[in-house]
A = this chain, B = another copy of it.
Amino acid sequence: MIILDTTAADFADRFTALVEGRRESATDVTKGVTAIIARVRAEGEAALADLTRTLDRHDLATTGWRIDPAECAAAYAALDPDLRTALDLAATRIRAYHERQKPTDTDYTDAAGVRLGARWRAVDAAGIYVPGGRAAYPSSLLMNAIPARVAGVERLVMVTPTPDGQINPLVLAAAHLAGIDEIWRVGGAQAIAALAYGAGRIAAVDVVTGPGNAWVAEAKRQVYGVVGIDMVAGPSEIVVVADALNDPDWTAADLLSQAEHDTTTQSILFTDDADYANKVAAAVETQLKTLATAVTARIAWDTNGAIIVVESLADAAPLIDRLAPEHLQLAIDEPQAFFDRIRHAGSVFMGRHTPEAIGDYVAGPNHVLPTGRRARFASGLSVLDFMKRTSFLQLDEDALRELGPATVKLADAEGLPAHAKSVALRLRLNR
């Protein structure tokens, strides 16, 4: 963890280093992923069975390729009732928030008599990757599946590795709640290849989303364009803006809630009080002593954590824009005024009683957000990622007479005479 002070002589350089620091693991998996995709395209199911045997140590012919919906229903029924209620609340609220994202079609006729518009439709099929093992989060499954369902996707497919044949029952329960149509016990780059190109019994989909390790992320990057993908995801980050009126313990927990995800995550605090900064740093150390996820959180905090002391919190806004953080928590009295000054952030958590964790689970907005400065240009996952827009146009002879001559002029200027002719013939224009 570093502590920076905006009044220090070397602040500009050190802050730039923080902004430009790459936390992505350097593993070069490109070639390995290319080879796996090629193999799945060439060999289909046989490649999936073989790679699953090698990497996940089970035989699909024995364990079964698919997980039965009945198994998911049973896992849901067997949940601890409080946990089931919590999961239900999450699903209901996520659905409600995403319902409002559904786009509106347009259809109008303008002064020239031209009918114009745009029509939105869901994609036919979406595939959701769900990691196996430690990072198997039911909340993540809901965050990916519910927007697809709200969009109206008819075929919702889940792929997930089941190492040694095992799967987290919580994930199955979430799959039941989200209404997944097909679950395949296949993971890794091979699962992404199967979703993009189809492989035997697994039919291809149109959009692939969901988190995964470096192999999964690279596979998504490589199939981008063959199918739609959610985004190129990197390590997660949070920026917390807190004045000295906050309990240092609350802020420390906020920073650690990001740090405990993964050793590559980043937690940054902006405060206008050097004494408060020290109190938070001390509270982090105290909490790390008892935190069950301390090993991970310690590495993330020590390696990537930062506390930045500003003279006035207003000074933080332009610095935060340079970081374009995935999560921005504003633990201050007038969070809206601060938010108004921010251009780039994936999601903003306003006020002292809005810890980021609330947004990870039950609040409603999507927790799949742009990381690694991508909030400069990218948005969180939404219903729109599972839909596409078709524009349309309708002219009658009068409207064509309005627009036709300009079209002929421009087509001729661009050296495209057949374009011009397709208009000129209909208007009996001499050219």
A interface residues with partner B (beta carbon < 8 Å): 82-83, 85-87, 89-90, 93, 96-97, 100-101, 106, 110, 114-116, 118-119, 121, 123-124, 134, 137-139, 170, 206-207, 221, 224-225, 227-228, 231-232, 247, 249-250, 253-254, 256-257, 259-261, 287, 291-293, 297, 335, 339, 342-366, 369-370, 374-380, 382, 384, 388-397, 399-400, 403-407, 409-411, 413-423, 425-426
Q: How many copies does the complex hold?
A: 2
A395 close to B353 (CB less than 8 A): yes
Question: Nearest Cβ in chain B — how far from A220, in angstroms?
Answer: 10
How far is it, in angstroms, between the C-alpha of A395 and the C-alpha of B361 when the chains are bound? Answer: 14
Quick one: given A250-B425, A366-B391, are A399 and B355 in contact (CB under 8 Å)?
no
Known: A350-B394, A357-B420, A362-B407; 10 extra A-B contacts, CB below 8 A, are A82-B409, A86-B405, A118-B365, A124-B376, A137-B414, A247-B425, A253-B418, A354-B393, A358-B395, A365-B391
What chain B residues lie within 8 Å of A86 (beta carbons)? Answer: 405-407, 409-410, 413
B363 close to A416 (CB less than 8 A): no
What chain B residues lie within 8 Å of A363 (beta carbons)? Answer: 114, 116, 393, 395, 403
Quick one: given A354-B394, A355-B422, are A406 and B361 in contact (CB under 8 Å)?
yes
Which of A343, A349, A422, A423 has most chain B Cβ within 10 Å?
A422
What chain B residues lie within 8 Å of A259 (beta carbons)? Answer: 418
Question: Nearest Cβ in chain B — how far from A258, in angstroms?
Answer: 8
What chain B residues lie within 8 Å of A366 (beta carbons)? Answer: 391
Q: Which residue of B lies closest to A103 (CB)?
A: B103
